[in-house]
Amino acid sequence: MIKIAIFASGGGSNLQALIDAQDVGLFKGKIALIFSNVPESGAMEKGENERIESVAIASKGYPGSREEYDAEVLRLCESKKIDLVCLAGYMRILTPVLIKPYLYKMMNIHPGLLPMFGGEGMYGHHVHEAVITAKENESGATVHFVTEGVDAGPIILQGNVKVQSNDTPETLAERVLKVEHQIYPEAVRLFCEGKIKVVDGRVRILN
Ligand code: GRF
C-alpha cells in the first residue's frame, strides 16, 4: 500500500478531493499524513475531522533556515514511511533537502497549462489574470512532479477548460478548480498502480 502525505497551506479543496477519492477506493493508497506550514489552516482542521494524522510546523517565525525546516519535514515523512508527497496548495518553495529524496515521488497541482503561466510568482489568481490578459482561448490545470525549478518538473496529467470572453479570474479559477479535483486523484491512482515512468525527464504513462 502506497503511503501518501498531503501538504497544504490553505483551505484544502484538493486535499478534500484526494480524501474523497480515497474513500471511494479510487486509488490503492492510504493518506497517512497531512502536513501544513500554517497551523491554523483549513487543511489541519480537515485532517483532524477525518482522523488522519495531521502535523503543522509554523514556517512563520521558524528559527532555522529553509533547509533546516525542510530537513525537519523530511524526517517527519521518513518516520511515517511516506512513499508519495502531494502538494495541494502548499505555498512554500521547497529546497533540494526535500526535493532530492522525493524526486519523482512528489507531485504538485498547478492551476494553469504548464509550461505556460508557471514559475516563481505565478500562483493562484496571478495565473488566471495572466491567462485572461493574454486572451488565451484555453486554460486548465497540470499535475507535475516537483523538481528544483519552480513548476518545471515532468508533466503527469493536464485537463483543459475553455476561457469564456466574460471570464474574470474568479470565474475561471472556479472552473479550473473542478478540473484540478478530477486530475489530481487520477494522477495519484496512476502512481499507486506503478503506471508512471519518467524517461529522459518526461513522463510516460504505462497501460
Ligand atoms: C489550487 O488552485 C492549486 O492549483 C494551487 O493552489 C490552489 C489550492 O487550492 N497549487 P485548495 O487549497 O486545494 O483549494
Q: Which domain holds residue 201?
A: 109-207
Boundary-marking domain end, from 32, 67, 102: 102
The owner of cell 497551506 is: 9
> Do both 180 and 201 map to the same domain?
yes
Strand partners, 155: 144
Boundary-marking domain end, from 74, 102, 130: 102
Number of domains forming the structure of the chain: 2
> Do both 130 and 88 map to the same domain?
no
Q: What string of pLDDT tens digits covers the 207 residues of the chain?
A: 999 999 999 978 999 999 999 999 999 999 999 999 999 999 999 999 999 999 999 999 999 999 999 999 999 999 999 999 999 999 999 999 999 999 999 999 999 999 999 999 999 999 999 999 999 999 999 999 999 999 999 999 999 999 999 999 999 999 999 999 999 999 999 999 999 999 999 999 999
- Report how far residue 148's alpha carbon sits from residue 183's, in angstroms, rounded to the nearest whole number: 23
> Do both 94 and 3 map to the same domain?
yes
User: Is the Cβ atom of 140 under 6 angstroms away from ligand 1?
Assistant: no
Output the domain CATH number for residue 45: 3.40.50.170
The owner of cell 529524496 is: 101
Q: Tell which atom from ligand 1 comes closest to the C-alpha of 12.
A: 12
The owner of cell 502506497 is: 2
Q: Which of 110, 128, 144, 181 is catalytic?
A: 110
> Do both 123 and 63 map to the same domain?
no
> Do both 77 and 128 map to the same domain?
no
> Do both 21 and 115 map to the same domain?
no
Report pTM.
0.97
The owner of cell 498502480 is: 193
Residue 110 catalytic?
Answer: yes
Residue type, 59: S
| Phi and psi, residue 130, nearest 5° | -65, -40
Boundary-marking domain end, from 102, 132, 164: 102
User: Is the Cβ atom of 169 under 6 angstroms away from ligand 1?
Assistant: no
User: Is the Cβ atom of 14 under 6 angstroms away from ligand 1?
Assistant: yes
